[in-house]
Amino acid sequence: AQSVTQLGSHVSVSEGALVLLRCNYSSSVPPYLFWYVQYPNQGLQLLLKYTTGATLVKGINGFEAEFKKSETSFHLTKPSAHMSDAAEYFCAVSRPNYGQNFVFGPGTRLSVLP
Amino acid sequence: DTAVSQTPKYLVTQMGNDKSIKCEQNLGHDTMYWYKQDSKKFLKIMFSYNNKELIINETVPNRFSPKSPDKAHLNLHINSLELGDSAVYFCASSQIGEISNYGYTFGSGTRLTVV
């Protein structure tokens, strides 16, 4: 069975500061990993994904994440936070070839302070 | 064109009523899902249909019944609504075998409030 944990249900950063949202997973097979963002009163939008290949993946809006197999982590970072980044962020894991087994983490709410 | 569209966006109803939420996707995906997001933002899968066949049916009260008339539509009917059903319900779709390319595509959600 797969599972996802996100350390910190709420993270606050100042505008311009580094954003780091943590995600750890457990999976019996090499997983596919995703980050989704949910802006207030909206659906979930795919930020970035890791499937195979390069372990550092870049997504939209300046976000990137690095897959570290030894740490079973897929932390999301952005060098400089913008006010518009304030949202809920979800890490998710999927078992390759079993797309229906898509498990979300509990989410981290990012607040950006002026 | 909205890729995954849900209607209605907001639904306020009294306890005991029966209501339906509709979902349609125009992406040509073969799999659709219903997720429930509670007040703490936790997302939990409820159902999944692949080519109109039920493939995931999590522990959900049998008051909830999904119906997929075709692979582009997945509706959710809820009988005898209870206060605890209040949540945001998200529809999503994907193409099995192409998860690596696109992940899931989500609708904008239906906020259900039971009073």
Provide CB contacts within 8 A for A14, sequence distance 6+.
A81, A112, A113, A114
The stretch B19-31 carries a mean pLDDT of: 94
Contact A42/B33, CB-based, under 8 Å? no
Q: Decide if pLDDT at A56 tops 60.
A: yes
The stretch A44-56 carries a mean pLDDT of: 91
Query: Residue A102: what pLDDT?
Result: 78
Helix (H) or strand (E) holding B37: strand B31-37
Q: What is the DSSP string of B62-92?
A: TTEEEEEEETTEEEEEE-S--GGG-EEEEEE
Q: C-alpha angle with apex A65: A59 to A69, nearest 5 degrees?
A: 140
Provide CB contacts within 8 A for B69, sequence distance 6+.
B52, B75
Query: Residue B50: what pLDDT?
Result: 85
Contact B100/A106, CB-based, under 8 Å? no
The residue among B2, B50, B55, B99 with the most chain A CBs within 10 A of its CB, best to mutate, is B99
- Contact of A46 with A33, CB cutoff 8 Å: no
What are the pLDDT digits (tens) for B54-91?
877 777 899 999 999 998 999 999 999 999 999 999 99
Query: Residue B85: what pLDDT?
Result: 96
The Cα of B16 is separated from the nearest Cα of chain A by a number of Å equal to 26
Bond before B61 cis per omega within 30 degrees: no
Helix (H) or strand (E) holding A21: strand A19-21
Contact B96/A100, CB-based, under 8 Å? yes
CA B98 to chain centre: 20
Query: Residue B56: what pLDDT?
Result: 75
- At A5, the pLDDT band (50, 70, 90 cuts) reads very high
